[in-house]
Amino acid sequence: MTFELSAEHEDFRRSIRDFAEKEVAPHVAGWDRAHHFPVDLVAKMGDLGLFGLTAPEEYGGAGDDGDFTSLCVAIEELGRVDQSVGITLEAAVGLGINPIQTFGTKEQQDRWLPDLVAGKAIAGFGLTEPGAGSDAGATATKAELVDDEWVVNGAKQFITNSGSEITSCVTVTARTGTRDNGSPEISAIILPAGTPGFVAEKAYDKLGWHLSDTHPLTFTDARVPADHLLGERGRGFAQFLATLDDGRVAIAALAVGCIQACLDMSVEYAGERQTFGGPIGRKQGVAFQIADLEVMLQASRALTYKAAAMKDAGRHTGSSMKEFKRAAAVAKLYATESAVTATRIATQVFGGYGFMEEYPVARFYRDAKILEIGEGTSEVQRMLIARGLGLPVE
């Protein structure tokens, strides 16, 4: 198996880079200041086919012409210009489309996927709660089956793509009973936007990702038909874990885009900024830090696309899920922690200017930290890697 991108993937990369530089770069600073979710841009991304890169042709997707690696390339290139735009695509596909595509009934897929794949709508996945983050088994939201309807009560937090004007639905995990051993039975249920009792509260005022649509959600006797159960009853937690494996690789791709941006900005600035009669790039103290960025970039990209290649190979050959899980955790851990370091280095290279919002490096600095937290913290990734090595870590 090779982890080098094909000529087709590199051609695709150039097309997405061109799109990002023309459609995102000129506007992103203003959108960031205004905390504006760019619906028009989402529509353009849909026209480009970005939301359908892993979806079947019958729903408007790329079918056999697309793959998970292509999605990672798109996320990386969008993330190279702005991390918020990259996470919008990542969450829309990985957390919105993927669960319905993988676990949904034909009727559910027919209802939701066409608009999601076209970029006419987006969807979220509600897992995290005030008391249940990494410990997702502590889910407190409940769903009771009453007269052939699920009645949902509870709350979720930090849910991406959950309250925009084009959000069509959110899949939520909820306790639907208790198992024989006393553990909670957790299922996944699709809640359409506009369902009475389902409220997307005021958007968060976040440190970064200002373009990304993120809300807390509340459910007060929110009722949906019984057929809105996603997948098998009691398998919601397992479905979520499978969804996260893909998401970790995609977040690693977003981190690669961040590192690439830091490297590009640092090289350009170090060649232009003059001190003591010459460019700062000739000073070892600066040059060596930028060299470290190149090392982090190459290592992060290799780990990310190795995991993406394993995912794509598994679609056709049934490769080891255990190996993929570990590769996803390794890529996510290394790439995201490297991205945080890369933004610190780039900001230092820029000096005082790096602290000014007029320079993109400041936005990347703000945006990077969440990469180590979302879709599994660094601590969770280390736990998964250790378990994969056979260690009895709790």
Rounded CA-CA distance 155/200 in Å is 10
Q: Residue 318 — very low, low, confident or very high, per pLDDT cuts 50/70/90?
A: low
Rounded CA-CA distance 116/265 in Å is 34
The residue behind tokens 């961040």 is 258
Structure tokens at 374: 């979302």
Structure tokens at 227: 């057929």
Beta strand 167-178 with 122-126: parallel, antiparallel or unpaired? parallel
| Amino acid at residue number 115 | D
The pLDDT assigned to 317 comes to 59
Residues in the chain: 394
- CATH number for domain 124-234, candidates 2.40.110.10, 3.30.10.20, 1.10.3720.10, 1.10.357.10: 2.40.110.10
The pLDDT assigned to 135 comes to 78
Query: What's the whole-number mean pLDDT along residues 94-120?
Result: 97
Structure tokens at 139: 């889910």
Q: What's the pLDDT tens digit per position in 173-209?
A: 999 999 988 889 999 999 999 999 999 999 999 999 9
The pLDDT assigned to 141 comes to 97
Structure tokens at 122: 């987006």
The pLDDT assigned to 316 comes to 53
Query: What's the whole-number mean pLDDT along residues 261-267?
Result: 98
Q: What's the burial of 263, exposed, middle or buried (CB within 10 Å: 0-12/13-18/19+)?
A: buried
Total Cβ atoms within 10 A of residue 43: 14
The pLDDT assigned to 84 comes to 98
Rounded CA-CA distance 287/121 in Å is 45
Q: Is the pLDDT of residue 169 over 80?
A: yes
Total Cβ atoms within 10 A of residue 259: 32
Structure tokens at 171: 């899949």
| Amino acid at residue number 49 | G
**Distance, CA of 390 to chain centre:** 28
Q: Which fold has domain 237-388?
A: Butyryl-CoA Dehydrogenase, subunit A; domain 3 (1.20.140)
- Give every CB contact of residue 94 below 8 A, 6+ residues apart in sequence: 243, 246, 247, 250
- Give every CB contact of residue 316 below 8 A, 6+ residues apart in sequence: none
- Output the CA torsion 323→328→331→334 (10° steps): -100
Do 237-388 and 7-122 fall under one CATH topology? no
Confirm or reject CATH 1.10.540.10 for domain 7-122, answering yes or no.
Answer: yes
Q: Is the pLDDT of residue 213 over 90?
A: yes
pTM beyond cutoff 0.85: yes
Q: Residue 2 — very low, low, confident or very high, per pLDDT cuts 50/70/90?
A: low
The pLDDT assigned to 30 comes to 97
Q: Residue 315 — very low, low, confident or very high, per pLDDT cuts 50/70/90?
A: low
**Which segments of 227-377 are extended strands (E)?**
229-230, 274-275, 278-279
To the nearest whole percent, how much of the chain has pLDDT over 70?
A: 97
Q: Residue 3 — very low, low, confident or very high, per pLDDT cuts 50/70/90?
A: low
Going from N- to C-terminal start, the domains of the chain cover 7-122, 124-234, 237-388
Which residue is catalytic, options 165, 294, 375, 379?
A: 375
Query: What's the whole-number mean pLDDT along residues 218-239?
Result: 96
Q: Among candidates 79, 394, 50, which has minimal Cα distance to 259?
A: 79
Q: Is the pLDDT of residue 319 over 80?
A: no
b/e burial code for range 323-358 (CB count within 10 A of at least 16 → b): ebbbbbbbbbbbbbbbbbbbbebbbebbeeebeeee
Per-position DSSP letters for 217-261, written without gaps between them? EEEEEEEEEGGGEESSTT-HHHHHHHHHHHHHHHHHHHHHHHHHH
129 flagged as catalytic: no
Total Cβ atoms within 10 A of residue 99: 23
DSSP state of 120: S
Q: Residue 357 — very low, low, confident or very high, per pLDDT cuts 50/70/90?
A: very high
The pLDDT assigned to 320 comes to 82
Rg (CA), the chain: 21
Rounded CA-CA distance 247/91 in Å is 8
Structure tokens at 70: 């292509």
